Amino acid sequence: MNKIARRAISGVLLLDKAAGFTSNAALQKAKWLYRAEKAGHTGTLDPFATGLLPLCLGEATKFSQFLLDADKVYRAEILLGVRTASGDLDGEVIAERPVNIDEVMLSQALERFRGEIEQVPPMHSALKHAGRPLYEYARQGIEVERPARRVTVYGLELESFDGRLASVRVHSSKGFYVRALADDLGEVLGCGAHLTGLDRLKVGPYHLDDAISLETLAELTEDERDARLLPPDNLTLDLPRLDLDLEAAWQISHGQAIWRGGLRVGDLLRLYAPDGRFLGVAEVDQDGKAAPRRLLASG
Look at residue 125 in the predicted model and tell me its pLDDT: 66
Given a contact cutoff of 8 angstroms between Cβ atoms, the answer to whether 54 and 206 are in contact is yes
Return residue ranges of the chain for CATH 2.30.130.10: 239-295
Catalytic residue of the set 46, 88, 199, 233 = 46
Query: pLDDT 10s digit of each residue in the chain, 299 long?
Result: 356 788 989 999 999 999 998 999 999 999 999 999 999 988 888 899 999 999 999 999 999 988 888 999 999 999 999 999 888 998 889 999 999 999 999 999 999 999 999 998 877 766 777 777 777 777 777 777 778 899 999 999 999 999 999 999 999 999 999 999 999 999 999 999 999 999 999 999 999 999 999 999 999 999 999 999 999 999 999 999 999 999 999 999 999 999 888 889 999 999 999 999 999 999 999 989 999 999 998 75
Q: What are phi and psi of 219, to 5 degrees?
A: -85, -10
- Cα–Cα dist 262/131, whole Å: 41
DSSP state, residue 230: B
Cα 241 to the center of its chain, rounded Å:
24
Element at 138 (helix H, strand E)? helix 134-139
| Fold observed for domain 239-295 | 2.30.130
Of 2.60.120.260, 3.40.640.10, 3.40.50.720, 3.30.2350.10, the CATH number of 72-203 is 3.30.2350.10
Supply the DSSP symbol for 88.
B
The neighbouring-strand residues paired with 278 are: 272
Residue 226 identity? D
Q: Determine the pLDDT at residue 144.
A: 75
Q: Which residues contact residue 250 at a Cβ distance below 8 angstroms, ignoring those fewer than 6 apart?
A: none
**The CATH homologous superfamily of the domain defined by 11-69+205-234:** Pseudouridine synthase (3.30.2350.10)
User: What is the pLDDT, as a whole number, of residue 153?
Assistant: 97
Answer yes or no: are the C-beta atoms of 187 and 113 closer than 8 Å: no
Helix H or strand E segment including 214: helix 214-219
Supply the DSSP string of 227-276, one letter for each residue.
HTPBPGGGGGTTSPEEE--HHHHHHHHTT--EE-TT--TT-EEEEE-TTS
Q: What angle do CA 165, 170, 174 make, to 5 degrees?
A: 135
Q: Catalytic: 46?
A: yes
Tell me the C-alpha distance between 206 and 208, whole Å.
7
What pLDDT was estimated at residue 122? 78
Residue intervals of the chain classified under CATH 3.30.2350.10 are 11-69+205-234, 72-203
